[in-house]
Amino acid sequence: MMMGKKLLDLSNMEEEEKKKKKKKKRSMKKILLLLNSVLLAMGTSGGPLVMRLYFIHGGNRIWLSSFLETAAFPLILIPLTFSHLHRTSHHSPKPKLVSIKLPLFLASAVIGILTGLDDYLYACGIARLPVSTSSLIQASHLAFTAVFAFLLVKHRFTAYSVNAVVLLTVAAVVLALRSGGDRPSGESTRQYVIGFVMILAAAALYGFVLPLMELVYKRSKQRVTYSLVMEIQFVMCFFATLFCTIGMLINNDFKVIWREAKDYKLGETKYYVVVVGSAIMWQFFFLGAIGVIFCSSSLFSGIIIAAFLPVTEVLGVIVYKENFEAEKGVALLLSLWGFVSYFYGEIKQEREKNKKGCPERELPQSLPPNS
Ligand SMILES: Nc1ncnc2[nH]cnc12
């Protein structure tokens, strides 16, 4: 009898311990989601603004700007080192210094090359369009992400998320229908149209890359931890940077950087500040994006990117004195309506689940496969 009670107590204690661990893991994931969302939001707004600052004051190397999108990848070594030291002191046997295995390494390399190509398309667009216009066209990125998330990872949609995607796409179309009235001075219609097509192509390609990343996490034979996510980011950015370095070499960008810095309208020192600032902002963007996919889903990453476009819009108008006409206003309202619809749907779904007595889901849409 006593023995039975002891066993029962033991299994209760084990059960409690498991629950505590699960709770801690969930809180950790919430913190990570918040942190990565903040990084992504900062990169989404700051990246295009700093990149445009490079172009409007005399910078004109497209390959250099695409290179800057991922070139700050060595920064990832800082959190990776902390993470490794933490794991070394808390685990035995000691974890390996590098945990990424060959299949995941190859997948990250391929995604990295696609990202490099995407960076080039994006830089071409940003060079030719005002920030406020390019940001709204980028809203179509969400529609592409949604379609590919459905096709690649079978993402489950609700009426609200579909509504959000439709509204954001309509917002981009409203903008597309207007003439090039805010074309930067001295730019031909042809250049403007090229910029438009390039940025749309970048939106489509990146809309494919995000769910592809989610698919890689899902199919991975390795357990995906946040530390592994950072290793993936490192490999991806390395290959994207390599791709753009080859573009820079072919285009002689390395030879003209010094001259471009000397002629920069804001001065040589500010040129380098802009270049380094741009690289850091974009690193936030990419780490935030793949971190949010890890904690939640590629669609949520797309939603955050789209949600912060109006901020970029407004900042573009304030900082660079770009025009803000009726069409942009309408597009902005449609975008806001789209975001509100998405979050309303998420909250409603959450409440319904809680009412039904399954309070498990604490993150939007899907949890990562390895959680
Ligand atoms: N390379 C890129 N950088 C930032 N935002 C993007 N959206 C689509 N492609 C992008």
Distance from C-alpha of 107 to C-alpha of 238, rounded to nearest angstrom: 13
**148-202 tens-digit pLDDT:** 999 999 988 888 888 888 887 787 677 666 645 555 666 677 888 888 899 899 9
Q: Note whether residue 327 is domain-resident.
A: yes
Contact 173, 346 (CB under 8 A): no
Pocket probe for ligand 1: among 118, 129, 135, the residue whose CB has the most ligand atoms within 8 Å is 118
Q: Give the Å distance between the CA of 185 and the centre of ligand 1.
A: 24
pLDDT, residue 248, reads: 97
Backbone angles phi, psi at 173, to 5 degrees: -65, -40
From atom 8 of ligand 1, which residue's Cα is the shortest distance away? Answer: 203
pLDDT, residue 157, reads: 86
Q: Note whether residue 323 is domain-resident.
A: yes
Q: What is the largest CA-CA distance in the chain?
A: 91
Q: Note whether residue 28 is domain-resident.
A: no
pLDDT, residue 340, reads: 84
pLDDT, residue 183, reads: 59
Lookup: tokens for 343: 């979050």
Q: How many independent structural domains does the chain possess?
A: 1
For 102-130, letters b (16+ CB in 10 Å) and e give eebeebbbebbebbbbbbbbbbbbbbbbb
Q: Note whether residue 21 is domain-resident.
A: no
CA nearest neighbour of 128 among 63, 203, 186, 202? 186
Peptide bond before 48: cis, by omega within 30 degrees of 0?
no
pLDDT, residue 304, reads: 87
Its ipTM equals: 0.93
Cα–Cα distances in angstroms (integers) from residue 23 to residues 16, 26, 62, 249, 360, in the given order = 10, 5, 47, 51, 10
Tokens 């489509």 -> residue: 204
pLDDT, residue 88, reads: 86
Q: Give the Å distance between the CA of 206 and the centre of ligand 1.
A: 6
Distance from C-alpha of 107 to C-alpha of 67, rounded to nearest angstrom: 20
User: CB under 6 Å to ligand 1: residues?
Assistant: 47, 69, 118-119, 122, 138, 141, 202-203, 206, 285
Q: Using alpha carbons only, what angle is made at residue 213 by residues 69 and 39, rounded to the nearest 5 degrees?
A: 50
**291-322 tens-digit pLDDT:** 999 998 898 898 888 877 767 777 877 887 77
CA nearest neighbour of 26 among 12, 18, 88, 40? 18
CA nearest neighbour of 115 among 303, 283, 309? 283
pLDDT, residue 301, reads: 92
Lookup: tokens for 213: 């990343």
Q: Note whether residue 95 is domain-resident.
A: no
Pocket probe for ligand 1: among 141, 148, 197, the residue whose CB has the most ligand atoms within 8 Å is 141
Residue 76 DSSP one-character state: G
Q: Note whether residue 64 is domain-resident.
A: yes
| Amino acid present at 153 | V
Domain extent, residue 136, equals 39-84+101-355
For the chain, count helices (H), then strands (E): 14, 0
Q: Note whether residue 26 is domain-resident.
A: no
Helix (H) or strand (E) holding 272: helix 268-295
pLDDT, residue 268, reads: 95
Q: Note whether residue 8 is domain-resident.
A: no
Distance from C-alpha of 114 to C-alpha of 87, rounded to nearest angstrom: 32
Q: Give the Å distance between the CA of 259 and the centre of ligand 1.
A: 28
Q: Give the Å distance between the CA of 237 and the centre of ligand 1.
A: 13
pLDDT, residue 172, reads: 67
Q: Which segments of the chain have a pLDDT < 70? A: 1-3, 132, 135-136, 172, 175-187, 310, 325, 356-371
Ligand 1 atom at shortest distance from the alpha carbon of 47: 4
Pocket probe for ligand 1: among 138, 287, 292, the residue whose CB has the most ligand atoms within 8 Å is 138
